Structure formats: C-alpha cells, structure tokens
Amino acid sequence: MSKADRLKARVPRGFADRGAADLAATENMLRATRETYELYGFEAVETPFVEYTEAQYERVFAVNTKGTFFTLQQAAKRVRDGGRIIVISSNTTGLALPGFAVYGASKLAPRYFVEVLAKELGPRNITVNSVVPGVTLAAGVFTNTPHADPYLQEMTRATPLCRLGTPEDVANAVLLLASERAAFVTGHHLVADGGAGL
C-alpha cells in the first residue's frame, strides 16, 4: 500500500464525504494528522539567505506554495456548500527568522490564498481558515528530535503554557474550525502555539 493510500485510509469517512471532519472520529483524525506530518513534511530551514540554491528554492515553493494553491483550487471545486476548508500554515508567516527566508516566504502565499478564497467561497457558506502551529513535537523538522534537545528545552521555557505543541493540539484546532461552532469564522488564521508568539 502506498503512503498516500495509507493516509487516505486513516481519514474519517465523514471527512471524505462531506468536506468537514466527522467529530465522532476524532481518534482517526488525530492519527491522520500525525501521519500527514510524518509522510509529507518538507522544510528547508536554517539555511542562510545567501546559501539557498535554485533547486532548494524551487522545491520549497513547489511543495508549500504551488502545491497548496492547486490543492485549494481542487477543494474549492469539490467542497459542498456549507463546507470547510482548512490549511495548516506556519508560525513563520508572522516571524522574520534567520535561515527561514525561502520557507517563510513560501508559507506567506497560502495565507493570502486563504483570505482570498474565504471571500470567493463566502456566498456558498464555505469557510476557509488556517491553523498556525508553533513548535510541534514529533512533527516537521522536529519529527526525530529528542525531547531533551537544547533548542526544544529553550522553546519550552519561552512558551507561557510551559510545553510544546503536539500533533493532537494541531488536530484539535482543525476540529474546532471544522465544527459548527466555527460556522461564522472565515479568513482567519488560528494560532495554536501555546502563547509562544506573544
């Protein structure tokens, strides 16, 4: 079974059928979120501006910008009226970090896509939002980083909730935006970082 097929099998049936998460299938959604991070995470970070190669630049923008654009385009064509579209963003959209020039820029465009699409799909009562995670354990560049890593320890101390995020925290933010409780929320970027960006 391919990676994509394994991921599809973990997505709750309600998500596939209605374009919004089936809240009764929270555990499946959490597993799907974890596997998405594991299978598709691609981040070229900690590379100084002057050292990025053209190939790195094209790869990062192909995945994070072009990939997101065309995924959203297909979602906009297929999601039923009253549905939800939710993008996983990055806290680098609000921070200018050394070594993140290309990655951060590639994540800024999808933020704009969310806002434009929210306006375009609003008449169909479709909400379009993003979740903006902070440092997330066992995800992205931290997938194989031990909890005792000095950088993770430093980030933990800098977070008001005194812990780092988990894939479950990100999934719960997605579930909130997918629920009826967020029916009047669109074009929004929900930050799930434990207050680290304050």
Q: Of 110, 116, 149, 154, whose CA–CA distance to 132 is shortest?
A: 110
Which whole-number Å values give the CA distances from 104 to 1, 11, 48, 80, 111, in the listed order? 33, 28, 13, 31, 11
107 is catalytic: yes
Which whole-number Å values give the CA distances from 131 to 52, 84, 95, 177, in the listed order? 27, 13, 16, 9
Options 40, 57, 77, 90, the catalytic residue: 90
Q: Of 59, 22, 45, whose CA–CA distance to 100 is shortest?
A: 45
Per-residue pLDDT tens over the stretch 86-112: 999 999 898 888 988 999 999 999 999
- The DSSP secondary structure of 157-194, one letter per residue, reads HTSTTSS-B-HHHHHHHHHHHHSGGGTT--S-EEEEST
2 is catalytic: no
> What global pTM score does this model have?
0.77
* pLDDT over 60 at 38, yes or no: no
Q: Of 91, 112, 14, whose CA–CA distance to 45 is shortest?
A: 91
Burial 76-111 (b: 16+ CB within 10 A, else e): beebeeebbbbbbbbbbbbeeeeebbbbbbbbbbbb
Q: Worst-scoring range by mean pLDDT, 25-29, 50-54, 76-80, 101-105?
A: 25-29
106 is catalytic: no
Options 37, 103, 106, 130, the catalytic residue: 103
Please compute the mean of the pLDDT values over residues 9-22 and round it to a whole number: 42
Helix or strand or coil: residue 13? helix
The full set of domains in the chain, from first to last, is 3-192 (3.40.50.720)
**CA contacts within 13 A on the Cβ side of 167:** 19
Per-residue pLDDT tens over the stretch 57-67: 998 898 889 99
90 is catalytic: yes
